[in-house]
Amino acid sequence: MAESDKPPMASRIRRQSLRRQSLMPRVSNPDFDVDDDDGHHTRGGDTAWKLKTKMACTYRMGPVRKFLPHVVKKRAQEILDKAFTDLAYDHYQCREVADKVSTDIMAFLKEQVFDRYRYVVRVVAGEKKGQTVKIVGRALWDKDKDNFLTVTYENRHLYAVCMVYALYFE
């Protein structure tokens, strides 16, 4: 093909972009995720395009069942007491125990039927040496829907504080 027979550059780019657009599926709001055959997120290579699922809009402005701290507090206290009983303070060991406690409490929360709540579980453990401790948390808060609870544990060597925040997700 001679140089004069080639179409101008602008029309070639326009045709290429039209070809690319015709390969895209026709959906109103496309959100794509790239997964390989094993379900792992990949970039490039042999991939299959899957649409992300979205939560349907129910036009509900409040929870069906509100988060009730007294329901969770008893079980959270049991988990905290069981984990830190007869434990002397060691930085590395307390960090692992605190991670396990937060995971166990989060698993218990997910078993409950508090619809559309998202949870934040924070466990702080420290050595007792006669000091005063203040633990503060800040968040944007809806006093009608959101809630929290705090559970503490103390022995001769250490203290542990568990804070659970339940935030309603509209």
The architecture that CATH gives domain 69-168 is 2-Layer Sandwich (3.30)
Helix (H, G, I), strand (E, B) or coil at 105: helix
Below-70 pLDDT ranges, the chain: 1-53, 55
Residue in the block written with tokens 């050595």: 127
- The pLDDT value given to residue 3: 58
Task: Give the tens place of pLDDT for each residue, 118-142.
Answer: 999 999 999 999 888 888 888 788 8
Extents of the domains making up the chain: 9-51, 69-168
CA–CA distances in Å: residue 148 to residues 67, 72, 111, 143: 9, 10, 17, 10
SS3 67: coil
Strand order in the sheet with 158-168: 117-127, 158-168, 147-154
Alpha-carbon distance of 8 to 29, in angstroms, equals: 34
pLDDT for the residue numbered 29: 45
Per-residue pLDDT at 16: 58
CA angle 7, 10, 12 (to 5 degrees): 50
Q: Residue 88's closest CA among 39, 141, 127?
A: 127
Q: Which of 104, 14, 115, 107 is nearest to 68 (CA)?
A: 115
Size (the chain), residues: 170
Direct distance between the N- and C-terminal alpha carbons of the chain, in angstroms, rounded to an integer:
61
Give the pLDDT confidence score for residue 151 in this predicted structure.
96
pLDDT at 59: 78
Specify whether the CB–CB gap between 58 and 136 falls below 8 A.
no
